[in-house]
Amino acid sequence: MKKVLFLMIALVAAAFGADEVVAAVEAAPAVAPVVADVANQTLKAYSMIAAGVGLGLAALGGAIGMGSTAAATIAGTARNPGLGGKLMTTMFIALAMIEAQVIYTLVIALIALYANPYLAA
């Protein structure tokens, strides 16, 4: 928990430090291209971290959801074997919905990595 707290403090400090860089660029416009390049590299680094953390959380949530769905289906089939076919059909639909959420996260992560609209041209 301490590591997460320290990481968040470091990210906030970097964000507030960027305001000072913007003030320095306004004071000396000759260094603007260099600062823009540094800002792009920082944004790319944060995008990679966000994509990794986001995909990790999405995969974790999907795995937990799929596990509980399968456990509930197995328990329902054990209680009433005659409904096994209907329960399996419902389970597969639920698994597809859960997996769709993980795929949406993958798409957002790929957009953040390769087609980031916030990068300077």
- The single residue listed with the structure tokens 């937990």 is 64
For the chain, list the domains and their CATH numbers: 32-114 (1.20.20.10)
In Å, what is the CA distance from 31 to each residue of 24, 34, 118? 9, 5, 20
Contact 60, 98 (CB under 8 A): no
Instruction: Dump pLDDT digits (tens) for 76-98.
Output: 999 999 999 999 999 999 999 99
Burial 63-82 (b: 16+ CB within 10 A, else e): eebbeebeeebeebbeeeee
Mean pLDDT within 19-44: 65
Instruction: Dump pLDDT digits (tens) for 27-36.
Output: 556 555 666 7
For residue 4, is pLDDT > 70? no
Residues 58, 5: Cα–Cα separation, whole Å: 21
